[in-house]
Amino acid sequence: MNFPSKLIEDAVTEISRLPGIGKKTALRLALHLLKQSEAHTEALALALSRMRQEIKYCKICHNVADEEECSICKSHRRDGSIICVVEDMRDVLAIENTNQYQGKYHVLGGVISPIQGIGPEDLKIESLIQRIEKASESEPVKEVILALSATMEGDTTAFYLAKRLKEKGVSVSTIARGIPVGGELEFTDEVTLGRSIMTRINYNTD
């Protein structure tokens, strides 16, 4: 595309570096901003810039936070004996929205992915081990719940973590994989269906 303005070209180039946004969408967004007030664009640019520069990560769970410690780690209402291990902040938000979990979190910052060159040392795994070791006196960690995506990378990470954590004597569990609530059996893929049969829940044990 031959842009009539270098300014627009630069903006389109930068916007289209975002994931899932191509040149055409970037141009549409740029022209939208030009139609809005200057204050609108300034607010956007400032919010992005401030977020990137001033963001902090909780020193305990590594979730995004405005302070040294996030509100969940600071809270005395949350059960510190259970730690839910997730990939990133979006997973924390998703689990928080269920209102079903009262424990704490640990944000890995990714999953093990040999293809993308991400190994265990690139994730906050040592920090999790240390957290469990340090916590043992006051409020010992009893259980670690692995809430990772049901992908090859997620499973690899879960397998690695389970091996490392068992040495520490904590109970390790993973969230159930199965048919989504509301999902119809006949439309469920074979792998999910197969797994949900293998990991079936026995009503008698309750």
Instruction: Give me the phi and psi of 25, to 5 degrees please.
Output: -65, -40
Q: Which is nearer to a second copy, 8 or 175 (CB)?
A: 8
118 binds a second copy (CB under 8 A): no
User: Which of the stretches 45-53, 113-121, 168-176, 197-205 binds a second copy when contact is defined by CB under 8 A?
Assistant: 45-53
Does residue 193 bind a second copy (CB under 8 A)? no
Rule CB under 8 A: say whether 8 interacts with a second copy: yes
Counting contacts by CB under 8 A, is residue 93 touching a second copy? yes
Find tokens 């730690």 and name the residue. 83
Distance separating alpha carbons of residues 36 and 34, to the nearest angstrom: 5
Stretches 39-47, 121-129, 154-162, 163-171: which one binds a second copy (CB under 8 A)? 39-47
3-state helix, strand, coil in the chain (%, to 5): 50, 15, 40
184 contributes a contact to a second copy by CB under 8 A: no
Residue range at the interface with a second copy (CB under 8 A); choices 26-34, 131-139, 151-159, 160-168: 26-34
Helix (H, G, I), strand (E, B) or coil at 31: helix
Among 60, 65, 123, 128, binds a second copy (CB under 8 A): 65
Among the listed residues 68, 96, 126, 139, the single contact to a second copy using CB under 8 A:
96
Nearer to a second copy, 14 or 139 (CB): 14
- How many angstroms separate the CA atoms of 169 and 22, rounded? 49
The CA R_g of the chain, rounded to the nearest whole Å, is 22
- Does position 74 interact with a second copy (CB under 8 A)? The reply is no
With CA atoms as reference, report the closest residue to 92 among 46, 120, 58. 58
Binding a second copy (rule: CB under 8 A), the pick from 59, 68, 71, 163 is 71
Of residues 11 and 125, the one with the C-beta less far from a second copy: 11
Q: Alpha-carbon distance 98 to 91, whole Å?
A: 11
When binding is defined by CB under 8 A, the residue of 76, 77, 97, 185 that contacts a second copy is 97
Residue type, 162: A
CB 24 within 8 A of CB 35: no
Q: Is 167 exposed, middle or buried (0-12, 13-18, 19+ CB in 10 A)?
A: exposed
Angle at 183 between CA 161 and CA 92, to 5 degrees: 40
* Residue numbers at the binding site for a second copy (CB under 8 A): 1-8, 10-11, 13-15, 17-20, 25, 27-34, 38, 40-56, 58, 63-66, 70-72, 88-90, 92-93, 96-97
